Amino acid sequence: MDCPVCKNEPMIVLELNEVEIDYCLSCKGIWLDAGELELLLGSSTETVEFLNSFTSDDITKEKTHKCPICNKKMEKILVIGNRKVRIDKCKYNHGIWFDSGELEDILGMRKLDNKNKVLTLLNDMLGKKIKE
Amino acid sequence: MWELIRANKRKSLFLFFVMGICLLVLGFFIGGAYAGDDGGFIGLFVAFGIWILMSMISYFRGDSIILMMSRAKKVSYNVHPQLFNVVEEMKLAANLPVMPDIYIIPEEAPNAFAVGKKPEYCAIAVTAGLLERLNRDELQGVIAHEMSHILNRDVLFMTFSGVLLGSIVFLSHVFLRSMWFSGGGSRFRSKSSKGGGQLQLILIVVALIMAILAPLMARLLYLAISRKREYLADASAVRLTRYPEGLACALEKISLNNYEMKTANKATAALYIANPLKPKGMKLSNLTSTHPPMDERIRILRNISHGANFIDYQNAFTSIKGKQNIIPSSGIRERKKINIRTSTAASTQTKSTKKSTRDLGDLMRAVNKYMFLSCACGLKMKLPPNFKKDKISCPRCGRENHVPIAELAAMSGMIAIDEKNDSIQNNEQVKQDSFVYNRTGKGWETFSCRCGSPKQLSPAFNKASFVCNKCGRKIEIKGP
Ligand SMILES: [Zn+2]
Ligand SMILES: [Zn+2]
Ligand SMILES: [Zn+2]
Ligand SMILES: [Zn+2]
């Protein structure tokens, strides 16, 4: 699977403490297959509510990317929490693309993440200092 | 058993020849439609030529073409020891002369097929999804079913019938297209006015009817053969495993699956244990399917009582489908009682869905030739085969890790070391300093021997050491 942003750059899979992500070494973006975000967030009513709050954003001028699985154009999704994050989601539900830092932003939003365990792990995985 | 195989062969050969005659007659009339009575023989000859050519290709290259189309990869013992053990068990039970080659297809849909011209040279391919979903008893049922196809010479036969069907469909298609484009045969009419027109007109009409009917007939014959063979393979599987519930459960799990196989197509569909293509339409598919309906196969298996011999399967079959002989009479005559065994305790193992999803992912990656590097900091990096740099700096700790891509490229077909084959072959080579590899986890791991030769450990690798097949070094594996 190649990075949807850097095109011919193959993505690698990182695994730490049973958490797995597809990662691009050159742009540091993250790809999550369908269902993996749910797996990361844990199944709770809050998670479901949060995922339902995703709204498609067709006015943005941000460059669109192609889904690395089906190669069709992905749609822009606006996630609004304590800040706005715009992510790319495959219309055929193959997964979601996060530019560098976007997944961390989303995990940090609204205490979704149970005591930020996943966020801590993700930061650890990518060698970032944990900001309190 | 031999008599049974022969009876089965005879019956199939008969249907096979009916299909062949279908093709030749079609060729004759198409030729006649084009060029009068002389053309009939030319058409016959062309049809025969297509048949022979395609049969030759499928006889000599069929197995590898099918395996290649399904993207199946040959694997060694350590990739899935349970699979190898089950195959070996069934090989002994079925009296197969050699151990079949074992292939894994990197697909999530659970399915399996067997190829092989004869029992001396054969292969069994299963999908990664099948291995992840089935327990030992269920896997045994599926393997026994495939083994039966090999024993019954079904594979060769199904390939040949498939080719024959393909040739008939191809010929009629070309003919009907050409009729369409030549404006409904005006070209023939002008020729026929020169003389002998009456006969030619009749030939054209017959050819048209044949071109429409022959593919349908051939297809029905083909379906009749392939369905009967599925039932027979189920019956033989019960006999080999003495545990009908295993196969029944496996079929149940397989039929519950929602994934369509990306690597199967109409030509190969009949080979799989379950139809790999999800029917697009409604119930009509029951009529035109190469496979008997799953729920019926399961019901028959669950209806088996008393024993696991052919007669017991036939009785269960009759009680559900009515009087119809699935098993050749020689199989029925074999009255030796075979008792049904109880399930093995080892079958009840549960894995969390999270772990199971990850294991399935890793198995598919291993089959797809990923490398599994473990950084000293504990981060696991799984690199796809198109990763082309020979160094990778760990995103977690920044350490530089060596990626053995050049060495890997030099080797072909490496998926997990097979200490059974690898170490024994080169035992006489010079012994050098031994080398210790510290395993970081229980998963897949790729590393290089000091000589540079890449090694891959599967989750199942549990030996304390093995010998490098390149340099003869002893490599000690220290567990986590
Ligand atoms: Zn990238
Ligand atoms: Zn997609
Ligand atoms: Zn590291
Ligand atoms: Zn070596």
Same-domain status, B377 and B332: no
Which domain range does residue B90 map to? 1-345
Distance A14 CA to ligand 3 centre (A): 11
Q: How many helices (H) and strands (E) does chain B have?
A: 15, 13
**Which pLDDT does position A127 carry in this prediction?**
84
- φ/ψ (deg, to 5) at B66: -65, -45
Whether residue B351 is contained in a domain is answered as: no
What are the beta bridge partners of residue B105? B127
Same domain as B134, residue B7? yes
- The answer to whether residue B364 is domain-embedded is no
What mean pLDDT is predicted for residues A55-83?
85
Q: Which of B310, B345, B380 is the last residue of a domain?
A: B345
Domain of residue A100, residue span:
12-126
**pLDDT score of B65 more than 90:** no
Same domain as B332, residue B287: yes
Identity at A90, one-letter amino acid code = C
ipTM of model: 0.89
Catalytic pick from B107, B138, B146, B230?
A: B146
Domain count, chain B: 2
Tell me the H-state helices in B70-152. 81-94, 128-133, 136-151
Q: Answer whether B418's CB lies under 8 Å from B376's CB.
A: no
Q: What is the pLDDT of residue B62?
A: 74
For residues B158 and B196, membership in a common domain is answered with yes
CA distance B52 to B224: 23
Same-domain check for residues B402 and B275: no
Residue B151 lies in a domain: yes
Six token digits for residue B326: 């699935």
Pair B405, B324 in one domain: no
**Looking at the domain assignment, is residue A7 inside a domain?**
no
What count of other Cβ atoms lies within 10 Å of the Cβ of residue B55? 17
d(CA A75, CA B38): 63
Helix (H, G, I), strand (E, B) or coil at B180: helix
> Which residues on neighbouring strands pair with residue B185, listed in sequence order?
none
Whether B12 is in a domain gets the answer yes
B288 near B223, Cβ under 8 Å? yes
B383 in the same domain as B467: yes
Higher per-residue pLDDT: A104 or B203: A104
B352 found inside a domain: no
User: Which of B115-119, B184-188, B266-270, B451-455 has the lowest average pLDDT?
Assistant: B184-188
Distance CA B210, CA B58 (A): 26
Are B68 and B6 in the same domain?
A: yes
What is the tally of structural domains in chain A? 1
* Chain length of chain A: 132
Lowest mean pLDDT among B139-148, B171-180, B224-233: B171-180
pLDDT at residue B410 is higher than 70: no
* Chain B touched by A38 (CB under 8 Å): no
The owner of tokens 């699977």 is A1
Residue A1 lies in a domain: no
Cα–Cα distances in angstroms (integers) from residue A78 to residues A57, A83, A86, B462, in the given order: 6, 10, 5, 48
Tell me phi and psi for residue B271, to 5 degrees.
-80, -25
Q: Among A115-119, B106-110, B408-412, whose mean pLDDT is lowest?
A: B408-412
Residue B332 pLDDT more than 70? no
Least confident of A74-78, B231-235, B259-263: B259-263
Q: Return the exposure string of A11-50: e unless at least 16 CB atoms fall within 10 Å of the residue's CB, then b.
A: bbbbbbeebbbbbbbeeebbbbbeebbebbbeeeeebeeb
- Split at pLDDT 50, 70, 90, the class of B285 is very low
List, for residues B7-60, the tens digit of each pLDDT value: 667 766 777 777 788 888 888 777 777 776 677 778 788 888 887 887 787 777
Distances (CA, A) of B446 to B371, B443, B466: 6, 10, 15
Instruction: Kindly state whether residue B361 falls inside one of the protein's structural domains.
Output: no
Using the beta-carbon criterion (under 8 Å), do B392 and A25 form an inter-chain contact? yes
Mean pLDDT of chain B: 77
Residue A117 lies in a domain: yes
CB environment B139-156: b (16+ within 10 A), e (fewer)? bbbbbbbbbbbbbbbbbb
The reported pLDDT for the residue numbered B307 is 72
* pLDDT value of position B463: 81
Q: Report how far ligand 2's centroid is from the alpha carbon of A105 (Å).
A: 23
Contacts of B225 (CB under 8 A, 6+ apart): B12, B15, B16, B157, B158, B161
Distance CA A48, CA A53 (A): 9
B133 and B85 in a single domain? The answer is: yes
User: Which residues between 354 and 393 in chain B have a beta carbon less than 8 angstroms from any beta carbon of chain A?
Assistant: 354-355, 358, 361, 365, 370, 378-384, 386-388, 392
Give a yes or no: residue B201 inside a domain.
yes
Q: How far is B344 from chain A (nearest CA, A)?
A: 31
- Tell me: the pLDDT tens digits for B427-440? 455 556 778 888 87
Q: Is A129 touching B (CB cutoff 8 A)?
A: no
B241 and B94: one domain? yes
Assess if residue B318 is contained within a domain: yes
Our answer to whether residue B146 is catalytic in this structure is: yes
Minimal C-alpha gap between A59 and chain B (Å)? 35
Looking at B345, B377, B401, the residue that finishes a domain is B345
Closest chain B residue to the Cα of A124, Cα to Cα = B396
Residues of A in contact with B390 (CB under 8 A): none
**Is the CB of A10 less than 8 angstroms away from the CB of B398?**
no
Report yes or no on A86 lying in a domain: yes
Please identify every residue whose CB atom is under 5 Å from ligand 2, which is an ion: A 67, 69-70, 90, 92, 94
Quote the percentage of chain B above a pLDDT of 70: 78
Q: Quote the CA–CA distance of B260 and B249 in Å, as a whole number.
A: 20
Task: Judge if B283 and B431 occupy the same domain.
Answer: no
DSSP, res A10: B
A16 CB within 8 Å of a chain B CB? yes
> What is the pLDDT at residue B416?
63
Q: What is the DSSP-derived secondary structure letter of residue A66? A: B
